[in-house]
């Protein structure tokens, strides 16, 4: 039996427009695990074009990215696990670097810089680059993932950092930005409510909005990315407002 060095794990649902290029960028892997969340479009049809893809229905249907990532650990057979989203692309330089480091390394996990592309622009400021994500793991040392929405890996051993970035094609148009914010703000507000967040007041809403503005525009200088930087930075401020407005609504409609 052929030794499997790399297993790529992708979590996707209704990603027919993005999954093809994603799979093309990781087709060098020995195995690709596609955890499908019940796609109704042609996501699975596109995936079947790649012989190393193993499509698996997600056993957990609720919003729980930690559980979905853990399912990837169970399904994968590779020594090294690489987690990739459907809107991300692995560049040839990153592929070569990863294949080099696993030959002789002291690290059991690696953080990969992400080049975020928003509204067609590769962002350099606003906290968008380098956006390090821990995505590559020696399977035996990856214990689990925690967190329903903003999942975190739990592993034993040292963390290394790679130099070559992956490409993240996020926020491709304003409509998708609004749709995603409408959906995710409701989920985030629900998680804060379940965690027993203190009552939302007018000053708390202003505080989180000001904090987000300061982070984006003062600390990370989003304005240096031009018009797109301003649009994205202000949109993130609006996103924080919407999360806390939804939380206020939950707290006052018990």
What are the tens digits of pLDDT across the range 79-128? 999 999 999 999 999 999 999 999 889 999 999 999 999 999 999 999 99
Q: Report whether 158 contacts 107 (CB < 8 A).
A: yes
For the chain, domain boundaries: 6-168, 174-252
CA dihedral (49, 51, 57, 60) in degrees, to 10, reads -110
Phi, psi of 58 (to 5 degrees): -75, 125
What is the predicted pLDDT for the residue at 178? 95
Condensed to tens digits (0 to 9), the pLDDT of residues 225-239 reads 999 999 999 999 999
What is the predicted pLDDT for the residue at 46? 95
- Extract the residue ranges of the chain whose pLDDT is less than 50: none
Of 238, 233, 231, give the one whose Cα is nearest residue 182: 238
Fold type of domain 6-168? Spore Coat Polysaccharide Biosynthesis Protein SpsA; Chain A (3.90.550)
What is the predicted pLDDT for the residue at 146? 94
What is the predicted pLDDT for the residue at 148? 84
| pTM across the whole model | 0.92
CA distance 141 to 121: 37
């Amino acid at each position: 039996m052929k030794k499997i060095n790399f297993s790529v794990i992708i979590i996707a649902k209704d990603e027919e427009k993005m999954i093809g290029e994603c799979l093309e960028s990781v087709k060098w892997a020995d195995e690709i695990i596609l955890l499908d969340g019940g796609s109704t479009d042609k996501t699975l049809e596109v995936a079947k074009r790649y012989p190393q893809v193993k499509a698996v229905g997600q056993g957990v249907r609720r919003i729980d990215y930690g559980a979905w990532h853990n399912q990837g650990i169970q399904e994968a057979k590779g020594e090294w696990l690489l987690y990739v989203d459907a809107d991300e692309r692995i560049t040839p330089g990153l592929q070569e670097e990863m294949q080099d480091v696993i030959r002789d390394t002291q690290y059991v996990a690696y953080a990969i810089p992400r080049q975020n592309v928003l509204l067609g622009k590769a962002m350099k400021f606003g906290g968008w680059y380098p956006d390090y994500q821990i995505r590559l793991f020696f399977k035996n040392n990856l214990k689990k993932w925690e967190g329903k929405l903003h999942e975190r890996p739990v592993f034993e051993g040292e963390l290394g950092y790679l130099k070559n970035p992956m490409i993240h094609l996020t926020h491709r148009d304003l409509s998708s930005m609004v749709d995603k914010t409408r959906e995710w703000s409701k989920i985030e507000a629900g998680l804060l409510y379940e965690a027993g967040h203190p009552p939302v007041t007018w000053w708390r809403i202003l505080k989180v909005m000001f904090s987000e503005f300061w982070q984006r525009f003062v600390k990370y200088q989003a304005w240096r990315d031009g018009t797109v930087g301003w649009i994205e930075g202000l949109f993130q401020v609006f996103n924080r407002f919407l999360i806390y407005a939804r939380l206020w609504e939950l707290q006052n409609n018990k």
